[in-house]
Chain A
Amino acid sequence: MAESVPVNLPAATNEYERTRVPDSALKGPSSFWGMYAGEHTAGTEFMLGPLFIAWGASALDVILGLLLGNLLAVLTWRYLTAPIATDLRTTLYYKLEKICGRKLVALYNVANGILFCFLAGAMVTVSATAVGVPFPGVRMPTFTDILPTGLAWCIVVVVLGALQTLVAVRGYSFVARISHLAAPWMFLVFVACGLTALPKLASLEPSQIWTGVALGGKPGIGFVGIMLFAWLCNAAMHLGMSDMSIFRYARKPTYGWAASAGMLLGHYVAWICASLLFALEVQRHGESASNAPGPMVFAAVGWAGLICVVIAGWTTANPTIYRAGLAFQGVWPRMSRSTGTLIAGTLATVAGLFPAFAMRLLDFVGIYGTVLAPVGAIIVVDHYYARRFGLVQNWAEQTHATFNIAALLAWLLPIAAFFWLYLRHDIFPSYLTVPVWLTCGLLYILFGRTLLRRPVATSP
C-alpha cells in the first residue's frame, strides 16, 4: 500500500491533463518498473506487516494469502487498468469529467482529499514513533490506543505534521527526489530488520511466528481476508483506475506487469519482514506488545532503522498531503494550492494525533479502496459496455451536463450499503470492495439507461 509520488514521471504526470498523451511523450518500461518498486515500499509497510500477526493470521494464511492476493493485484493492473489507460491516454479525472461532469468530479475530489488526509495522518503517526524514540517522555501508542497518549506525543506529532505540511506547501519535488533516492536502501533496511529478528526469535517454526491467535480479542483474519487485503489494498489505484494517470504514458498494456515489482518487494518481502519484527515483540511482551514502528526498528537495527522509519513515513505523508491539497483546490478553484495544502496538512496532523488511524490501518485501507474504487467500474462500463447496453459514452461531454445523477447514485448506493454493513456488522472492509465495485457498475448500466437523457441530435 502506498500513496507516493510517481518519482520517475514527475514532470510528465502533471502534463497533458486535458489532452491525450502524444506518442512522443510515451515512456519505456524501466520507468514503470522502477516507480512501482519504489512506490510500494513505504511507511505503511511498517504498520501492515505487524497487523497480520495482531489479527491472528496463521503462517499459511500469510505466505499463500499474500502470494495469491498480490498476483490478483498485478493481474488487475495488467488486464484492467493498463489496457484502458493505454487506449484513452488521459487522466482518471479527465475521463471522469467526460462521463460524470465537473460537479461530480468535485465530489469525488472531496472524498479523495479527506481519505488522503487520514492516510497522511497515519504516516505522521508512523514518523512520530521514530522521532519520539530518543525522548523517554513520549509514550508510544499500542494497539489499544485510540486517543493521543500524552502531551509529549502531541508535541512530537504537531511539530512533525507542521514540518511535513510546510514542505508540501513548497511542492513535493524535493521529497520526491529523497523518496526516489531512498527506495533501494529502504527496501534493504526492511530486509535487514527481518534478518536480525530471526536469531532473536524463540522459535523459527512458522506456526510460532504467525500463531493464528489474535491479540487482545481482536477479530481474526484468515486466508481469504489476507488474500483480499493484498489484492485490494490498492483498489483505488487499479480497480479504481487512479493509475490511469501513470499508465497513460505506457507504450503497451504489457507494462502493467511492472506492478509486480512493487507487490513482490513491498507487499510480500517488506510485509513479511515487518511481521517478523512484531513477532519478536509479541514473543517478548505478549499481549502488551507495541507495534509502534520506531522502537521496534530501533531495537532491531539501530539508528539506520530510525532514519528509515522517519523517511518512509515522511515520503509517504508528504505527497499525500500535497495530493489532498490539490484535490481540495479542485473543488474550490479560487483557493490557492498553498491554502489547500495547509488545510490538508492541518487535517492530517490532527488525524496523526490519534493512533487509531495507524493502528486500524487494515480497516482504513479497506475503506479507502472501497469508497474510491467504484468510480473505476463506471469507467469500465463506459469504455467497454456503453454501446452494448445502449448507454451514451462520455455522457457529460456529449450532453454538456455538469452532473451525472446516474453515476452519483451508482457510486453512493453501494457505498451506503457498505458503511451500514461495516458499522453495524463489523465486516472487514476488503471483503466488500469487489461486491461494491460490481454493484456500482451494474447500477450505472441500469440508471444510465433509465435516468440519463440522450444528447440532442444535431442536423447534418
Chain B
Amino acid sequence: MKIPRVLALAALLLTVLPAALFAAGYVEDHVMKVTMLVGTVLWFTAAPQWLRGGND
C-alpha cells in the first residue's frame, strides 16, 4: 500500500500547495485551479485504496 499512500499524500499537497503558491504570487489563477482539480481527482482515486489497505 506504499504507492496509494504516496499518491494520496501527493494529492493533498496538490490541493493546498497551489493555493499557497498563488498567494505568494508564484503561479497564475488558472494553473492553481487546474492543479487543485488534479489533486482532488488523485485524492479520490488513491485515498480509498490507501485507507482500505490501512484497515487490513
Contact = CB atoms under 8 A, between A and B. Distances in A.
Q: Is the interface of A mostly helix, strand, loop or mixed?
A: helix
Interface in B22-56: 22-23, 25, 32-34, 36-37, 39-40, 43-44, 47-48, 51
Interface stretch (A78-86, A285-293, A298-306, A350-358): A298-306
Interface of B: 11-12, 15-16, 18-20, 22-23, 25, 32-34, 36-37, 39-40, 43-44, 47-48, 51
Contacts of A390: none
A427 interface: no
A301 B33 contact: yes
Contact of A191 (B19, B33, B43): B19
Interface in A174-223: 180-182, 184-185, 188-189, 191-193, 195-196, 198-199
Interface string A99-131: 000000000000000000000000000000000
Contact of A304 (B20, B22, B39, B48): B39
Given A199-B23, A199-B25, A303 B16 contact: no
Given A181-B44, A181-B51, A185-B11, A191 B16 contact: yes
Contacts, number: 62
Contact of A196 (B15, B23, B39, B51): B23
Contacts of B37: 302-304
Interface of A: 180-182, 184-185, 188-189, 191-193, 195-196, 198-199, 301-305, 307-308
A192 B40 contact: no
A433 B50 CA distance: 43
Given A181-B48, A185-B12, A304-B15, A192 B36 contact: yes
B33 A302 contact: yes
A195 B32 CA distance: 11
B16 A198 contact: no
A367 B12 CA distance: 37
